[in-house]
Structures are given as structure tokens and as C-alpha cells.
């Protein structure tokens, strides 16, 4: 099965031979692709059924919570940390980013952009919390407790002095430009580096 | 029945080399009884050692010679099973100090021929593992594909990783801990006191007499058995139902089903286990604390084990070796950079879950050994 487009972008950007922690690794789909390209990938995942599936695939995954359990990893334990589609579900995204960049000098962070034009229109015309393809769950039961936009994220990085080594923006499955990302990106992927 | 137990012939080797013990004493030679399954490949790289629990034995996938019951992990070990004997050469040895053919308190003194009883030295988990390493040397197996164990078996797997990291590729540790807690020690002490308070124990020299401390051993087993089950499991299985009667007897017969069940479990246990072995092995577990030689820092035990792949599993209803104990091990492994997997599985059976039908465990064990299931 082909990787989700955002995961494919991350997989292509991770060099062979590097050590990676995939935070919120699910059933290990990205880790499997990384392993195939010679990457030492390990995972942290909160759902025991997903953890079981990943271990059954022969992967090293620890059941744990990104809000709490990143503290157990030593400084610079990895070359890259990956947080895919999970930032907006954490209790304190700023602290999670601090932890990622403590564990590894570089981190991939991807999230759905809450300022995508369809989200803006929904809120403007409908006056209700948007339910979209990437944010498919109603406000009262969504795990996404910290909605974030591309501009918000850039601001946070700037405030923390965190550098951006690369960024990718997806509209549907297609890339969109840096300048248009705030409106047009459904999904953003940043490769950030320690200040 | 204890005397019958010691008449069973087990497949064993006697290694005529001294076994140094943690206590400072040593055994001049050591007998190790073991079972093996599946063929050892040409380069001897497919050996999997299974370590058994306190009252387990080497009959992991074969019928028990005393009870005739199927092997204690027959559901896990065999052709096409998660520990696949079509792929792996599986070895399971009776632990040092036990009563199924390996050296223990029932072993005769070399000079007098009298069973050693309490003259057998107190042993540790590390001593058990040292004896297993001697067995592997004897078999010409320098490196294990994996060591797998639940409960006390998991402690041995951890001790393998700590003491012989270069000799194993992978350690699978199920429903276990890196140390015995005060509560664990307390329950064991109840069991030991029950045995030693039995007048038939006779300071451990009961082997030649017609009396053995079966009552004490049965009580020890009854107390321990409760700790292996969950409160919800006991309630579901027995509730407050009465045993073969409609009304309470207002006496001290086994009115309740749970009493009758425990009495049966206790008595049946004495047919297949030696009271002194129970003393020695529970003591070994109580002394177990992998962090102890490292100033209480558990990570210190694993500094040489970075290249071992670890898989740990706990069960949400296991209050004997609760999830926090597994997490503590995972944290220590992460701090040294070892590849660790961990999951807490949901199962209703308490500590005994590792022996019972938990399909997720099967998939995890197969995956940890590098196969699909």
C-alpha cells in the first residue's frame, strides 16, 4: 500500500542510516517504510492495539503518551524525531516541540492547517466549527484540542528561535507554494532544527 | 507424594564443573534437566531459550510426567505456533533449585547420599541463569536468538540481558519485574512460613520419612494462587456461590466454591512440587533486584545490552507484577538507547494472563522473534 502523501514526504527526507523516533507511530506504517530504506526507526504510540500491530510487524514500539513519556528518552537519542498529525492533539504543543528537539537535533512536524480556505469559509458562513476531510470529527469529540494554522506555527518557531530547514505544503495530495500555504495548504510538514 | 515426584526420570545432563553462586558458595557439579523441541540449524543460530516461572518446569510443550497435563505453554510453543518449532530450536531447562531433575534441595549429598535439604545453598536468579549458560556451553550454543519468559521467567530473561548481553539477540519479558517489591516478598514469606510451620517439614529433612509437609505446601500454594488471579476474575468465576450445597453449613467446611477451588489447587500442587524447592525458588525471587549492584540505578544493569532487542508485555489486571514495574524497565532501557518495545495488554486473568488465551500476546511474541503470526 502506498504511504500517505505526508508520510511519503517525510520518508523521502530521512537519510539512510539515521536513527529516528516516530512519535504517534500508529501501527508502524511509516516505520516500515523507513526500515526498508535502512533507517533505525523506533516508535511511541498511545493505542495498545496499534502498538501490538507494530510489534507483530517486528518493530520496536513503546506504548506511551507524547504528553508525558518523551521525558524518558535521553538528550540526542535520535537524529530525527517525527510528529505526524499529532501536534494538535497534545496538551501543550510548545512543550512537546521542546521535547522533540531535546531528543533529536531535528524534527519533522506535520499538522492539518486550520486556516485552509475551506475551513475559513465554513467558519465565516456557517458559524460552526468546521468538519473537513482532514478534520473529520465534531468539536465535542475531536482529539484535536489545539487547532493550529501555518502562520501560528511559524510564529511559535520564530518566538522560540527554532529554525526551519524545509517545509512542504499539501493541498489534497498536491504540493502548494510557501507563499500561498496559509490559505491553500490543507496540510503542512515542517522539518525544524534546534535553536 | 513427594517421594513419587523424585522417582520420575527426566532428560538431564550433569556438568562436572563448579558453579559459583552469588552467595559466595559454589556447587561442585550441577545437574540440569531440560527439554528441547525443533532442530538446531547448522550454524546454531536458531536457539530460543524459554525460562519457566516459579512453579513451572521444563515441560513447556510436552505432557507433564507427574500430572499427564499438556505442557504449560503448549499454546505458545510448537509447529506453526508463535514460538515456531519448525523455525526455532527451543530449549527449556528446569531451574536450579527446583524439583524436576535439576540440582536442588532434593539432590543427594555426594558424600553421604542423603538429600541435601536445607544444606543446599541459597540461590539467586543470576545463579539460575549461570547454570543455563553452562548448559548452553555444554550444548555448543554460543548465542541465543532469543530468551523468552513470563513472571520469574521474565526475571531470568532480564538477568540474561544484564549478565550475558553478547549471547542473545532478543529478550522477551512478560508480566515480570526487575525487582521483587515489598508486597511480593511479603506474600512469599507467608508461603514459606506455612511450609516451615508444618511439623512434617522436619527442618527440611522429610525425604526419607513417610511424612512430607503437604499441608504447609498446599497453604502456600493457596495464598500464592490468589495473587495470580484478578479480583474481577475470581468474582466472575465463583462469586459468592456455594459449593454443592444450597445453604450455609455454619461450620468450616468449604462452603464457598472459591474455597473448594483453592483447596483443590493447593492439594493438586503437592503432587507435582517439592516443598523445599518452593522455599529456595521463592527466596531467589525475593533477592532479585537488577539495580542493586548499580547503586539502585536500573539503567546500570543494561549498559552493555544496547544491542539486545527487548520486548516487554504487562497485563492490566496483573497486580502482582503491575504495569509500573514494566514501565520502569522500559525507562531504563530507553536511557541506555536499547531497542525496546512495550505494551500493556488488556486481559481478565490477572498475572496468569501470560499463560492463557490472549491472542494479542501470541502476535507480539511471534513478532518479537522475527516472524508473523
Residue by residue, DSSP assigns A4-43 as PHHHHHHHHHSPTT-EEEEET-TTSHHHHHHHHTT-EEEE
Last residue of some domain: B281, B305, B324? B281
Q: What is the DSSP letter of A122?
A: I
Is the dihedral angle over the CA atoms B358, B325, B169, B167 positive or is it negative? Answer: negative
Flag whether B236 is in a domain: yes
B154 and B217 co-located in one domain: no
Is the dihedral angle over the CA atoms B118, B121, B122, B123 positive or is it negative? Answer: negative
Return d(Cα A160, Cα A153) in angstroms, integer.
11
Last residue of some domain: B232, B259, B281? B281
Which residue's entry shows cell 473529520?
A136
B217 and B349 co-located in one domain: no
What's the mean pLDDT when you consider all of chain A?
A: 95
B39 and B133 co-located in one domain: yes
Report how far Cα B177 is from the mean position of its chain's Cα atoms: 12
pLDDT of res. B1: 41
pLDDT of res. A1: 61
Q: What is the pLDDT along chain B (373 residues), one digit of tens a residue?
A: 445 788 899 999 999 999 999 999 999 999 999 999 999 999 999 999 999 999 999 999 999 999 999 999 999 999 999 999 999 999 999 999 999 999 999 999 989 999 999 999 999 999 999 999 999 999 999 999 999 999 999 999 999 999 999 999 999 999 999 999 999 999 999 999 999 999 999 999 999 999 999 999 999 999 999 999 999 999 999 999 999 999 999 999 999 999 999 999 999 999 999 999 999 999 999 999 999 999 999 999 999 999 999 999 999 999 999 999 999 999 999 999 999 999 999 999 999 999 999 999 999 999 999 965 5
pLDDT of res. B45: 96
Return d(Cα B366, Cα B331) in angstroms, integer.
24
Q: Which residues in chain B touch residue A58, judged by CB atoms under 8 angstroms apart?
A: 367-368, 370
Using CB atoms within 10 Å of the CB of residue B243, give its burial: 0 to 12 exposed, 13 to 18 middle, 19+ buried.
Answer: middle
Last residue of some domain: B254, B281, B308? B281
Flag whether B42 is in a domain: yes
Q: How do strand B340-345 and strand B309-315 relate by DSSP bridges?
A: parallel
Q: Structural domain tally of chain B?
A: 2
pTM beyond 0.90? yes
Count CB atoms within 10 A of the CB of residue B195: 24
Identify which of A49, A62, A72 has the shortest CB distance to residue B341.
A62
Would the CB atoms of B363 and A52 count as touching at under 8 Å?
Answer: yes
Return d(Cα B301, Cα B368) in angstroms, integer.
22
CATH number, domain of B126, equals 3.40.50.1820
Q: Which residues in chain B touch residue A77, judged by CB atoms under 8 angstroms apart?
A: 334, 337
Q: State the ipTM, two decimals.
A: 0.92
B336 and B193 co-located in one domain: no
Name the packing angle between helices B182-196 and B275-286 (round to 10°): 160
B106 and B140 co-located in one domain: yes
Using CB atoms within 10 Å of the CB of residue B186, give its burial: 0 to 12 exposed, 13 to 18 middle, 19+ buried.
Answer: exposed
Q: How far is A57 from chain B, CA to nearest CA, in Å?
A: 6
B273 and B301 co-located in one domain: no
B310 and B343 co-located in one domain: yes
B157 and B221 co-located in one domain: no
pLDDT, mean of residues A125-143: 89
Res. A2 pLDDT band, cuts 50 70 90: confident
Grid cell, residue B349, equals: 486473568
CATH number, domain of B223, equals 1.10.1740.110
Residue A119 in this model has a pLDDT that exceeds 70: yes
Identify which of A40, A55, A73 has the shortest CB distance to residue B311.
A55
**How many beta-carbon contacts under 8 Å exist across A and B?**
63
Res. A172 pLDDT band, cuts 50 70 90: confident
Classify B226 in phi/psi space as left (phi over 0), alpha (psi -120 to 50) or beta: alpha
Q: What is the DSSP letter of B80?
A: T
B143 and B190 co-located in one domain: no
Flag whether B235 is in a domain: yes
Flag whether B373 is in a domain: no
Residue A189 in this model has a pLDDT that exceeds 60: yes
Return d(Cα B253, Cα A147) in angstroms, integer.
65
Q: Which residues in chain B touch residue A42, judged by CB atoms under 8 angstroms apart?
A: 339
Known catalytic membership, residue B89: no
Flag whether B250 is in a domain: yes
Please answer whether residues B324 and B331 qualify as being in contact, where contact means their C-beta atoms are separated by less than 8 angstroms: no
How do residues A56-108 score in pLDDT, each as one tens digit? 999 999 999 999 999 999 999 999 999 999 999 999 999 999 999 999 999 99
Residue with the larger pLDDT of the pair B4 and A140: A140
Q: How far is CA B67 from CA B62, B153, B344, in A?
A: 11, 22, 33
pLDDT of res. B373: 56
B122 and B210 co-located in one domain: no
Return d(Cα A191, Cα B170) in angstroms, integer.
33
Q: How far is CA A140 from CA A85, A130, B21, B299, B325, in A?
A: 19, 12, 61, 42, 35
Print the domain residue range for B352.
Answer: 2-180+289-368
B204 and B166 co-located in one domain: no
3 state SS of A123: helix
Interface residue ranges in chain A relative to chain B, Cβ cutoff 8 Å: 40, 42, 48-49, 51-64, 72-74, 77
Grid cell, residue A70, equals: 518523551
Count CB atoms within 10 A of the CB of residue B365: 26
% of chain A surpassing 90 pLDDT: 91
**B10 CB contacts (<8 Å, ≥6 apart)?**
B33, B58, B65, B94, B100, B101
The two counts, helices (H) then strands (E), for chain B are 10, 12
Active site residue: B57, B198, B318, B352, which one?
B318
Amino acid at each position: 500500500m502506498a504511504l500517505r502523501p505526508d508520510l511519503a514526504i517525510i520518508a523521502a527526507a530521512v537519510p539512510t542510516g539515521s536513527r529516528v523516533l516516530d512519535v504517534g507511530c500508529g501501527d508502524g506504517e511509516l516505520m516500515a517504510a523507513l526500515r526498508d530504506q535502512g533507517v533505525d526507526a523506533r516508535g511511541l504510540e498511545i493505542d495498545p492495539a496499534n502498538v501490538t500491530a507494530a510489534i507483530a510487524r517486528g518493530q520496536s514500539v513503546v506504548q506511551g503518551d507524547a504528553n508525558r513519556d518523551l521525558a524518558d528518552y535521553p538528550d540526542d537519542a535520535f537524529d530525527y524525531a517525527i510528529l505526524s498529525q499529532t501536534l494538535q492533539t497534545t496538551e501543550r504543543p510548545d512543550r512537546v516541540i521542546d521535547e522533540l528537539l531535546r531528543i533529536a537535533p531535528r524534527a519533522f512536524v506535520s499538522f492539518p492547517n486550520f486556516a485552509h480556505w475551506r475551513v475559513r469559509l465554513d467558519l465565516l458562513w456557517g458559524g460552526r466549527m468546521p468538519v473537513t476531510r482532514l478534520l473529520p470529527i465534531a468539536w465535542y469529540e475531536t482529539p484535536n484540542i489545539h487547532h493550529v494554522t501555518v502562520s501560528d506555527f511559524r510564529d511559535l518557531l520564530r518566538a522560540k528561535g527554532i529554525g526551519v530547514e524545509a517545509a512542504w505544503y499539501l493541498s489534497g495530495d498536491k504540493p502548494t507554494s510557501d507563499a500561498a500555504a496559509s490559505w491553500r495548504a490543507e496540510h503542512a510538514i515542517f522539518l525544524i532544527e534546534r535553536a | 507424594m513427594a517421594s513419587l515426584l523424585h522417582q520420575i526420570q527426566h532428560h538431564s545432563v550433569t556438568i562436572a564443573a563448579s558453579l559459583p553462586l552469588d552467595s559466595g558458595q559454589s556447587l561442585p557439579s550441577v545437574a540440569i534437566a531440560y527439554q528441547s523441541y525443533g532442530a538446531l540449524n547448522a550454524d546454531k543460530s536458531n536457539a530460543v531459550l524459554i525460562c519457566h516461572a516459579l512453579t513451572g518446569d521444563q515441560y513447556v510443550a510436552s505432557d507433564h510426567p507427574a500430572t499427564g497435563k499438556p505442557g504449560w505453554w503448549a499454546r505458545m510453543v510448537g509447529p506453526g505456533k508463535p514460538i515456531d518449532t519448525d523455525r526455532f530450536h527451543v530449549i527449556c531447562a528446569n531451574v536450579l533449585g527446583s524439583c524436576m531433575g535439576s540440582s536442588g534441595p532434593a539432590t543427594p549429598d555426594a558424600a553421604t547420599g542423603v538429600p541435601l535439604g536445607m544444606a543446599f545453598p541459597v540461590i539467586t536468579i543470576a545463579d539460575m541463569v549461570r547454570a543455563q549458560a553452562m548448559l548452553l556451553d555444554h550444548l555448543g550454543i554460543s548465542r541465543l536468538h532469543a530468551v523468552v519468559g513470563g513472571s520469574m521467567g521474565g526475571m531470568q530473561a532480564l538477568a540474561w540481558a544484564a549478565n550475558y548481553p553478547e549471547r542473545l539477540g532478543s529478550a522477551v519479558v512478560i508480566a515480570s519485574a526487575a525487582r521483587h517489591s515489598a508486597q511480593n516478598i511479603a506474600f512469599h514469606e507467608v508461603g514459606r512460613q506455612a511450609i516451615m510451620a508444618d511439623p512434617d517439614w522436619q527442618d527440611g529433612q522429610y525425604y526419607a520419612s513417610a511424612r512430607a509437609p503437604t499441608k504447609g505446601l498446599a497453604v502456600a500454594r493457596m495464598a500464592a494462587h490468589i495473587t495470580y488471579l484478578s479480583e474481577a476474575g475470581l468474582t466472575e468465576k465463583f462469586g459468592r456461590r456455594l459449593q454443592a450445597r444450597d445453604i450455609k453449613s455454619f461450620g468450616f467446611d468449604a462452603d464457598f466454591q472459591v474455597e473448594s477451588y483453592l483447596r483443590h489447587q493447593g492439594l493438586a500442587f503437592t503432587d507435582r512440587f517439592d516443598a523445599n524447592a518452593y522455599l529456595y525458588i521463592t527466596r531467589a525471587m525475593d533477592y532479585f533486584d537488577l539495580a542493586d549492584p548499580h547503586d539502585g540505578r536500573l539503567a546500570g544493569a543494561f549498559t552493555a545490552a544496547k544491542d539486545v532487542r527487548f520486548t516487554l508485555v504487562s497485563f492490566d489486571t496483573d497486580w502482582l507484577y503491575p504495569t509500573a514495574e514494566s514501565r520502569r524497565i522500559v525507562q531504563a532501557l530507553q536511557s541506555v538507547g536499547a531497542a525496546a518495545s512495550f505494551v500493556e495488554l488488556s486481559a481478565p486473568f490477572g498475572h496468569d494472563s501470560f499463560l492463557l488465551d490472549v491472542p494479542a500476546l501470541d502476535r507480539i511474541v511471534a513478532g518479537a522473534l522475527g516472524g508473523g503470526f
